[in-house]
Amino acid sequence: MCRLLGVVSAAPITVAGAVGDGVLKDFVALTKVHGDGWGVAAVDRIGDDPHVMVSAGSALDDPEFIAATGDEASAAALVHLRWATSGLAVEPQNSHPFVADGLAMAHNGSIKPIRALNDLLEPAMAASLRGTTDSERYFAVIRQHRRSATTLAEAVRCAVTQLRRSFPDSSLNALVLGENHLIVVHAHARSRLLAEDIEEISATDLPAEHLEDYFALRIARPRDDVVVVGSTGFGDLDWEPLPAESVIAVSMRDLSLTTLPLATD
């Protein structure tokens, strides 16, 4: 499981510049639990494909993370801190965001059993995988749907709908960056932390939100020209809740939001 942070700006800006140094410091403090890797995907200008930097180490005091979030300005970015699912290796190819086909994606959740997830992939798509995570396979399902969907947001909605039928208790929260949009998946209605996860969080001084509302995502506009989406448990921005069980597309062109509700049966 993981922590997510996404930024869309009317003009290129660093992640630190968009959220503030204090908020970013709060985010990095989550490495007390989420220290199994980090990644940043960014789109420099409208029309560009995302480029990605990942590491299997902790973001805390990592000069590459500091540079990626504090020095590199972009029109949109997503940042991921990894808390590795039990049994999955901590190695660069398992660090989010994953990138392929002009898209980048990071996921917060655990989809099990992974064998059933593999069964949803076409042979060519399965052959393109680099790591062993359920999250990369989730990304592959999105990419399969993108071939027939009219928009990226619709492809993500179709993928989430398909996965929800087979994995009703899984958190499918994700950020997808590409095609001039940041797509936010807010889908975790039946997700719960495991007892061992609660124990590990409780042993730290992380905010209570990590136990009370771990899977929620929220949105803020620290300035008129910046949209921020983030997990709970960090930052003092003027956060507002996102619609439950939905896919939200944030346009890089005008910062408008389009919401696609998910079926909740």
> Token pair of 89, please?
């290796």
State how far the Cα of 90 lies from the Cα of 100, in Å rounded to an integer: 21
State how far the Cα of 181 lies from the Cα of 179, in Å rounded to an integer: 6
How far is the CA of 59 from the CAs of 76, 118, 126, 170, 175, in angstroms?
A: 20, 30, 30, 26, 19
Cα angle for residues 100, 149, 126 (degrees, 5° grid): 40
| Direct distance between the N- and C-terminal alpha carbons of the chain, in angstroms, rounded to an integer | 25
State how far the Cα of 68 lies from the Cα of 85, in Å rounded to an integer: 25
Q: How far is CA 171 from the centre of its chain?
A: 11
Q: From first to last of its 265 residues, what are the pLDDT tens digits of the chain?
A: 699 999 999 999 999 999 999 999 999 999 988 889 999 999 999 999 999 999 999 999 999 999 999 999 999 999 999 988 766 778 999 999 999 999 999 999 989 999 999 999 999 999 999 999 999 999 999 999 999 999 999 999 999 999 999 999 999 999 999 999 999 999 997 776 666 666 766 667 766 666 668 889 999 999 999 999 999 989 999 999 999 999 999 999 999 999 999 986 5
DSSP state of 153: H
CB 233 within 8 A of CB 209: yes
Q: Where are the beta strands (DSSP E) in 49-170?
A: 51-55, 74-82, 98-100, 103-108
State how far the Cα of 19 lies from the Cα of 34, in Å rounded to an integer: 20
Count CA within 13 A, CB hemisphere, residue 140.
22
CB 161 within 8 A of CB 262: yes
Domains of the chain listed by start with CATH number: 2-261 (3.60.20.10)
Which pTM does this prediction carry? 0.95
* Model pLDDT, residue 190: 77
Length of the chain counted residue by residue? 265
State how far the Cα of 72 lies from the Cα of 70, in Å rounded to an integer: 6
Count CA within 13 A, CB hemisphere, residue 73.
8
238: three-class secondary structure by DSSP: coil
* Model pLDDT, residue 185: 98
